[in-house]
Structure formats: structure tokens, C-alpha cells
């Protein structure tokens, strides 16, 4: 657990190095909404995901967003998106998938809550327009939320932008 806490702290600190010109951090979760949400969906959330939301209830870096939880987010709240993707679309997600970030094309990065093990779970990529015949067909992207943040949010951003928000010029 100490390594997981350290990884989360290091990744959150790395994320926080970006300029507010390209990074948006929401207020932290200081109430019990995460625990209430866990009861509503019937799954525990992974430690690393809760760690981040307890420091920033949703965040965005250069357009890649992680949804927050609460009425202030309206239709973009984790609970509203969970409800929509599981009950109101043609190609419904399995209930164990928690969509936490979209790709802008109707697809989502999701926590696979059914595979929660030692307080972490893998991140999968759900394509809204693909008819999966088995959950084995759903791509597993990362072994944890914190590793997803490191790769998709931080590393991919640093390929094109500096921490201060200036664009890198590739010759």
C-alpha cells in the first residue's frame, strides 16, 4: 500500500506541475459522495481513483478530462455518465465498467471494477460502436488508474507541450 500511495502522490505532484493555462483542477471531494456512489453502483472504487478525486474532483489537461462526481457537473458527472452509458444507449456497457474519461468520439476509458484487486483495477477502453461478444474483447489499456494518468494525461501531453503550456516545436 505504501508504494501505491507514493505512486499516487508522485503522479499527482507531476500533474500539478503543469501551468493553469492547460491544467484545470476542481475542488477536492471532502464529503462522503464517493462512498455513496460506491453503494449506488455496487462496486468499490480503486484507491488511486479515489486518491485523485479527493485532491481534485475532476481535472483536465489540454482537453483530456477525468470526470468529477456531483450535481455541480450536471450531465458530465460520473454518476450521470454511468447512468447514461449503462441504461440509455444502444450498446450498453457492462455494469462493472465505470466510464471516467471520454475520447471525444463517444468512446470511454473505464475502470473495470469487477477486476479490483488489492485496491486497484485495470483501465479498459470501451468503443461505443463495437458489438462485443465477450468482455475479453474489450482492450485493457493500463493496469491502474494512476498508470493511465501517467501515460495518457502526462506523457502524451508532454509529447507536444511543455509544463508551462507552450507548444513544443518539432522540426
The domain that holds 22 is classified in CATH as 3.40.1580.10
pTM check: above 0.85? yes
31/137 Cα distance (integer angstroms) = 37
Percentage of the residues of the chain whose pLDDT score is greater than 70: 99
Q: Of 19-33, 62-76, 111-125, 151-165, where does mean pLDDT reach its minimum?
A: 62-76
DSSP result, 133-148: SSGGGSEEEESSHHHH
Beta bridge partners of 99: 110
Listed residue (120, 34, 107, 23) closest to 69, CA to CA: 34
Backbone angles phi, psi at 125, to 5 degrees: -115, 115
Q: Is residue 168 part of a domain?
A: no
Number of structural domains in the chain: 1
Q: Is residue 163 part of a domain?
A: no
Range of the domain at 152: 2-158
Q: Is residue 166 part of a domain?
A: no
Q: Is residue 171 part of a domain?
A: no
Backbone angles phi, psi at 61, to 5 degrees: -130, 115
Q: Is residue 67 part of a domain?
A: yes
Q: Is residue 14 part of a domain?
A: yes
Q: Is residue 109 part of a domain?
A: yes
Q: Is residue 169 part of a domain?
A: no
Q: Considering the chain, what is the average pLDDT of its residues?
A: 94
Q: Residue 104's pLDDT band (boundaries 50, 70, 90)?
A: confident
Amino acid at each position: 500500500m505504501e508504494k501505491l500511495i507514493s505512486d499516487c502522490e508522485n503522479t499527482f505532484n507531476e500533474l500539478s506541475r503543469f501551468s493553469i493555462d492547460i491544467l484545470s483542477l476542481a475542488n477536492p471531494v471532502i464529503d462522503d459522495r464517493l462512498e455513496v456512489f460506491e453503494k449506488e453502483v455496487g462496486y468499490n472504487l480503486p484507491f488511486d481513483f479515489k486518491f485523485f478525486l479527493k485532491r481534485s474532483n475532476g481535472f483536465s489537461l489540454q482537453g483530456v478530462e477525468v470526470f468529477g462526481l456531483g450535481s455541480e457537473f450536471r450531465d458530465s458527472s460520473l454518476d450521470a455518465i454511468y447512468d447514461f452509458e449503462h441504461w440509455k444507449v444502444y450498446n450498453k456497457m457492462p455494469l462493472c465498467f465505470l466510464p471516467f474519461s471520454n475520447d471525444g468520439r463517444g468512446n470511454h476509458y473505464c475502470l473495470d471494477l469487477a477486476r479490483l484487486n488489492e485496491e486497484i483495477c485495470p483501465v479498459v477502453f470501451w468503443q461505443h460502436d463495437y458489438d462485443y461478444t465477450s468482455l475479453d474483447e474489450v482492450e485493457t489499456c493500463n493496469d491502474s488508474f494512476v498508470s493511465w494518468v501517467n501515460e495518457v494525461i502526462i506523457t502524451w501531453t508532454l509529447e507536444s507541450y511543455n509544463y508551462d503550456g507552450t507548444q513544443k516545436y518539432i522540426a
